[in-house]
């Protein structure tokens, strides 16, 4: 197992242990002694899955992409649509992270680095759930105001 394709390619955590049941990967052949025999197709498929996970695609999208890759005669519109949707997810996450970064920077500037916890601005801000500066539902407007 130490030198298996799954180890060499690095298992994608969301798929780990569920690849075969999730129909991402067919079970490999086995030797008489029960050892798995991974072929080139398995290694390529594992690499494809890992690369798709690095782009943030979910298991359902990966299944669809694998199906398209297995049928090169099909149009690639669905793959493009999946990539467009993933890009939108990444951009939304980046907007949320930008808001979070700004809030943490503000918190650090107004926070304390010496003194007692009873006077700590960081703790005071975290305890104030209604201050309107976090990524809660109250910040939907703030998220839209963040530019790329």
pLDDT at 123: 86
Name the percent of the chain lying above pLDDT 70.
Answer: 70
* pLDDT for residue 24 is more than 60: yes
Q: How far, in Å, CA of 38 to CA of 27, rounded?
A: 9
Q: What is the pLDDT of residue 147?
A: 43
Higher-scoring residue by pLDDT: 34, 12: 34
CA atoms of 141 and 145, how far apart (whole Å): 6
- pLDDT per position as a tens digit, 26-85: 787 888 888 888 889 888 999 999 999 999 999 999 999 999 999 999 999 999 999 999
DSSP, residue by residue, 59-112: HHHHHHHHHHHH-TTS-SHHHHHHHHHHHHHHHHHHHHHHHHHHHHHHHHHHS-
């Amino acid at each position: 197992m130490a030198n298996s394709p799954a180890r060499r390619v690095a298992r994608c955590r969301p798929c780990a242990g569920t690849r075969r049941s999730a129909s991402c990967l067919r079970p490999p052949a086995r030797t008489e002694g029960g050892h798995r025999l991974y072929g080139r197709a398995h290694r390529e498929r594992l690499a494809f899955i890992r690369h798709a996970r690095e782009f943030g695609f979910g298991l359902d999208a990966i299944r669809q992409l694998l199906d398209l890759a297995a049928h090169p005669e099909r149009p690639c519109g669905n793959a493009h649509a999946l990539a467009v949707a993933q890009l939108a997810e990444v951009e939304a996450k980046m907007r949320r992270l930008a808001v979070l970064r700004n809030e943490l920077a503000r918190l650090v500037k107004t926070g304390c680095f010496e003194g007692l916890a009873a006077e700590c601005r960081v703790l005071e801000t975290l305890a104030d759930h209604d201050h309107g500066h976090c990524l809660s539902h109250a910040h939907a407007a703030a998220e839209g105001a963040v530019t790329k």
